[in-house]
Structure 1
Amino acid sequence: MREIKFRAWDKAKKEWIAKDFHLIGEIMMSGLLFDRSLERLNDIEIQQYTGLKDKNGKEIYEGDILVSYDPMEGEKITILEEDGTKKESVVTKEDLKYSERFVVSIEIRNGTLGIVEEGKWYQNEGSFENSEIIGNIYENMELIK
Structure 2
Amino acid sequence: MRKCRIYDKQFKIIRDVKYIDYRNKEVMYYTDEIEGNEKWSNLDIVRGFDEVNIMWSTGLKDKNGVEIYEGDILVDYNGYEAQYNKVKWSDKYCTWMIEGDFDIEFLRDFARHCSFEVIGNIYENSELLDEVEE
Q: Is the 8 A contact 2:19 2:28 kept in 1?
A: no
Provide, for residues 14-43 of structure 1, a one-character-per-residue CA deviation record: whole Å limited to 9, x for no partner. Answer: 112x316565x626964627633x5xx312
Partner of 2:52: 44
Deviation at 1:121, TM superposition (A): 3.7
Structure 1 residues 70 and 54, CA gap change in structure 2 (3 angstroms): same
Alpha-carbon offset, residue 52 of structure 1: 0.6
Larger radius of gyration between Structure 1 and Structure 2: 1
Contact in 1 for aligned 2:17/2:28 (Cα 8 Å): no
Q: Which residue of 1 aligns with 2:28?
A: 32
- Which ranges of structure 2 fall in alignment gaps of 5 or more residues? 30-44
Q: C-alpha separation between the residues in 1 aligned to 2:18 and 2:66?
A: 16
Deviation at 1:57, TM superposition (A): 0.5
TM-score between both structures, scaled by the size of structure 1:
0.63
**TM-score normalised by structure 2 residue count:** 0.67
For 1:31 and 1:103, the matched residues in 2 are separated by 30
Could you say which structure has the higher strand fraction?
Answer: 2
Matched residue count: 110
Could you report, residue by residue, the CA deviation over 1:47-106 in whole angstroms, capped at 9, with x for unpaired residues?
Answer: 1100110111010001111110113xxxxxxxxxxxxxxxxxxxxxxxxxxx12101111
The counterpart of 2:64, out of the listed 32, 56, 66, is: 56
- Alignment root-mean-square deviation, CA: 2.7
Q: Residue 83 of structure 2: which of 102, 115, 119 is its match?
A: 102
* Cα distance in structure 2, aligned partners of 1:132 and 1:107: 16
- The residue matched to 2:60 in structure 1 has which SS? strand
- By how many angstroms is 1:144 displaced? 2.5
Q: Give the fraction of aligned pairs with identical amino acids, expressed as a percent.
A: 35
SS of the residue aligned with 2:114? coil
Q: Which residue of 1 aligns with 2:77?
A: 69
Larger RCO: 1 or 2 (CA < 8 Å, sep 6+) = 1
